[in-house]
Amino acid sequence: MSTDTTRTHLDPARKHDFVFLFDVRDGNPNGDPDAGGMPRTDPETGQGLVTDVAIKRKIRNTVSLIAHDQAGYDIYVEAGTSLNSQHERAYEALNLDADKKKRRVSEPQAQQWMCAHFFDVRMFGAVMTTGKKTAGRVQGPLQLTFSRSLDPVLPQLHGITRVTQTREEDVEKGESTELGTKHTIPYGLFRGHGHFSAPLAQRTGVTGKDLEVFWRAMTLMFEHDRASTRGEMALRGLYVFSHDDAFGRAPAHELLERIEVASLDQGAVRSFDGYKVQVSDENLPEGVTLTRIVG
């Protein structure tokens, strides 16, 4: 067997490529604001889509739960907090001068401070060029793709009612209910890919602990993101291909293609049991190991 039984997936000096699978039942995994909140779909194939931004949001939220009391695990892109105020923290902590003439000296120091204190800057990167106190641009070592459903999904619109009114004048008129809508898909199994660059990780200061926190956040990101609109969502697979050097020993697409998912049903699939996941972990390229975190 060539499946990894060590902890190579926690080594920031290695290149990592990974596949993750998740499903949703009777929920909306990622509403499209340009389409009234309907589930995102590929108009040509009917396949469901979930953006990388949506997955990163869940990871950020989970990291803030599991590492909130640990130094270096603040979240830069946080609801209710302006980005400029985050930059200001760096300038205040380092007593930097925000004068335009001195910004060339101050900005690199502020950037290093941001990488050291914010998990998502260190891992995902950030554009921190707004406001008077800027911290430059950071190219993050960990990037995710859009996730795409294996089969077409069927977006549905459900009418719902509420027995209370929003406005007092509607109550006075004798109105007893308000109407609303809810978007769902009956079922969808989604597949996404991720890539971790060791050379970029060295620049931002990613550690083995950061990777450990990231993988744990991936496994928990649906467990603490429950909402009636999202239905039932679960991580069904997380497969990490780790190379024994920083630049990789094989093309990422060749490794990711070793994770094959096929439908077992002729009709509409309504559960994970309707799919078969085949992992080809024999005869991996030299210097590549596979860690099955989930699945």
Domain ranges of the chain: 1-51+185-295, 69-145
pLDDT at 175: 79
Is residue 183 within 8 A of residue 231, CB to CB? The reply is no
Per-residue pLDDT of the chain (295 residues; tens, 9 = 90+): 345 556 899 999 999 999 999 999 999 999 999 999 999 999 999 999 999 999 999 999 999 999 999 999 999 999 999 999 999 999 999 999 888 777 788 999 999 999 999 999 999 999 999 999 999 999 999 999 999 999 999 999 999 887 877 888 887 787 777 788 899 999 999 999 999 999 999 999 999 999 999 999 999 999 999 998 899 999 999 999 999 999 999 999 999 999 999 999 778 899 999 999 999 999 999 999 999 999 9
Rounded to an integer, what distance in angstroms lies between the CA atom of residue 8 and that of residue 287? Answer: 11
pLDDT at 267: 83
pLDDT at 1: 37
Rounded to an integer, what distance in angstroms lies between the CA atom of residue 115 and that of residue 44? Answer: 40
